[in-house]
A = this chain, B = another copy of it.
């Protein structure tokens, strides 16, 4: 496995794989790997001749009062895990490699980013689309893999790729969960044991909504208030949002007709957790 620090290095590494005819699979990450990341790498490994993973905690997608400084990092452990999965190339650039002095170019998806996490984290998606556009241009993959855990990010990136005619395919894979249902997230390390237990209200409330839809409930406000009420009843939970939008266009809904995204963001102590489920009628 090659570990590259510069754009030039990773481009040379990818070129060697491309010249031997390999399809290039790419998994962009912020590191501190869990099974969610590994599931993306395994799928890339199964589908592509070469697997490239980036590890970059992108400062541009963190707000001034967010957790950039304390975001968990463990490069040695990440490299070990990537090697075990059979990754070919890891790109882990310094901040200055990605944003040199005088940097001033941004990629922005409007509309889709003006709700959910786009409201609670102004500038977040501009940071995401900018860094992902850069990474796509650097790696030039045939396929890029993202997790459904970040559902809004996934549709925003798919829209960017479609709108800007980026020459690659975006694959979105299911959220990986702990045995008790909590969605895997690098930010779960922020949780105290009590908060970790309390956070189970998130997957439970999502499951309750799925059951209600199965039972015939179609009223979006009713479903939303059911989930909101369950989470609000947990004293350690502080709701950021509980919303239901059409899937995958995130259009406003009052009645479920087809597919809808039930998405939540909830704080437990200093951890802001997100999770979602696609409700299908």
Interface residue ranges, A against B (CB under 8 Å): 7, 11, 102-112, 129-130, 133-134, 137-138, 140, 159-160, 163-167, 249
Contact = CB atoms under 8 A, between A and B. Distances in A.
Contact of A163 (B11, B103, B164): B103
A218 B89 CA distance: 53
Given A105-B160, A159-B104, A159-B105, A140 B167 contact: yes
A263 B158 CA distance: 40
**Candidate in A102, A163, A167 with the most chain B CB atoms within 10 angstroms:** A163
A247 to B, nearest CB: 15
Contacts of A166: 137
Nearest to A129: B105
Which applies to chain A's interface (DSSP): helix, strand, loop or mixed?
Answer: mixed
Contacts of A105: 107-110, 129, 159-160, 163-164
A81 B103 CA distance: 39
A257 B166 CA distance: 42
**Candidate in A109, A164, A167 with the most chain B CB atoms within 10 angstroms:** A164
A169 B109 CA distance: 26
Nearest to A114: B104
Contacts of A134: 163-165
27 contacts: A7-B165, A102-B111, A102-B249, A104-B109, A104-B111, A104-B112, A105-B107, A105-B109, A105-B110, A105-B163, A105-B164, A106-B108, A107-B107, A107-B108, A107-B133, A107-B164, A108-B108, A130-B164, A133-B164, A134-B163, A134-B164, A134-B165, A137-B164, A137-B165, A137-B166, A138-B165, A140-B167
A29 B48 CA distance: 37
Contacts of A106: 107-108, 110
